[in-house]
Structure 1
């Protein structure tokens, strides 16, 4: 009798597991934002290739601007930029990101940040480097060259990255990417969290140059505002 009960339990569990996994996967698939598209003057964008292959477009995410504040809602993961915004030589690109309701559109933390070194933007040969923070105290440094590449794996924790008090709570990060001589550094909330030799980045399969367009990067199913996006020279 016990064996029969155990067999029934195993059979029931086997039926439930695929349904649970499927529900998780569906819950984390890229949504489509109502009234999406780009209304911020002068800006453009590109969604990630895998989202495009799944039938998503830039209109499935939303970028607007009000009083100098950029408001982003995704949708597919997206890179946004103004073609007039370029930087070369030694420089720092920085911005402040506010996630007003942490994880309000997703089932786990998703990142946002700044990118630099954008070349061939909007094409299948696009290359750039971004540093992004999560509201759980971790960060990532990744890029496209044109295939995606990772500089710190799937991310790393840092005491410098602010943590939201809980789901639905606000969290703010100031993120900067700097080119300084032979080094490229990411600083979050005033602390350098990653540093790389330029030669590690400007190489086959990664960046064409550290000169180029700069802008912002948001993962899928994420909402936030961006203020103070700027480039400064030493």
Structure 2
């Protein structure tokens, strides 16, 4: 198993504020998708700064096959206010991407510590996996992007699709226990840190809060087995 880098080194190298609030994962233009957020009890919020000024109304988040069909539009966060976590917990979801929907891969994942999500200054910490074997860990702190593992990093636990037309299935999770937290992909911790690493000035107020789904723009996947356990 690949061992995560020392957080102190990663923090000093990559914990930098993005110049634009909630900058897009990629610089290519966002497509417009018909559908909006129709999954019962859920809502969403697009990242600011997308080139066309699109919203989650220009994406699709709908109940499907016991889970959700998530097709974007702009990058965004999706959540139900019923999913609030505190103390020790694990949140996970499985993402089935039938094929690559754009000319490069985009990440899917889950977030914790969600606060002020429906405002211009949301906070959340997310772990996300790409179909090419990479992962990232980032957060939004009062509307500004903060890189924990900002650039995509390869890890053997993250599945890699054989071709752009190949299906790939990833389980992405956050595990919070005591003072420790882990970004997990397919049951393996790809990054580990402490609550203190991600909370405080310029970070999260707390790892407690709303948990939900994080997705990049121009993406399409079936989301199943979303769950929060204590």
TM-score, structure 1 length as denominator?
0.84
Q: Equivalent residue for 1:231?
A: 228
Tell me the residue number matched to 1:156: 153
| Counterparts of residues 147-226 of structure 1 (less than 5 Å) | 147-226=144-223
Partner of 1:43: 42
Identify which of 117, 120, 128 aligns with 1:121.
117
Which deviations, in whole Å up to 9, do the C-alpha atoms of 1:154-211 show, x marking residues without a partner?
A: 1210000001110111000011101111111111111110011211101111111111
Structure with greater Cα Rg? 1
**What do you get for the CA RMSD once the two structures are aligned?**
1.4
Q: Secondary structure at the match of 1:200?
A: helix
Instruction: Supply the distance in 2 between the matched residues of 1:66 and 1:98 (Cα, whole angstroms).
Output: 12
SS at match of 2:176: strand
**Distance in 2, Cα, partners of 1:119 & 1:76:** 20
Quick one: which of 65, 68, 71 aligns to 1:70?
68
- Is the 2:67–2:226 Cα contact (8 Å) retained in structure 1? no
After superposition, what is the alpha-carbon deviation per residue over 1:81-112, rounded to whole angstroms, capped at 9, x for unaligned? 011111100101011111011x22x1111100
Q: Secondary structure at the match of 2:84?
A: strand
What is the number of residues matched between the two proteins? 204
Structure 2 unaligned regions, length at least 5: 1-25
| 1:122-180 Cα distance to aligned partner (Å, 9 max, x none) | 11221000100000000000110020111112121000000111011100001110111
Measured in 2, the distance between the counterparts of 1:168 and 1:223 equals: 13
Hey, what does 2:29 align to over in structure 1? 29
Name the CA distance, whole Å, in 1 between partners of 2:205 and 2:40. 28
Alignment of 1:125-144 (within 5 A): 125-144=121-140
Structure 1, unaligned stretches of length 5 or more? 1-24
- In structure 2, C-alpha distance between the alignment counterparts of 1:115 and 1:46, rounded to whole Å: 13
Distance 2:62 2:52 in 1: 24
Shift of 1:68: 2.0
Q: Which moved more, 1:157-166 or 1:55-64?
A: 55-64
Larger % of helix: which?
1
Is the partner of 1:154 in helix, strand or coil?
Answer: strand
Q: TM-score normalised to the size of structure 2? A: 0.85
Q: C-alpha distance in 1, partners of 2:190/2:55?
A: 33
Matched position secondary structure for 1:136: coil
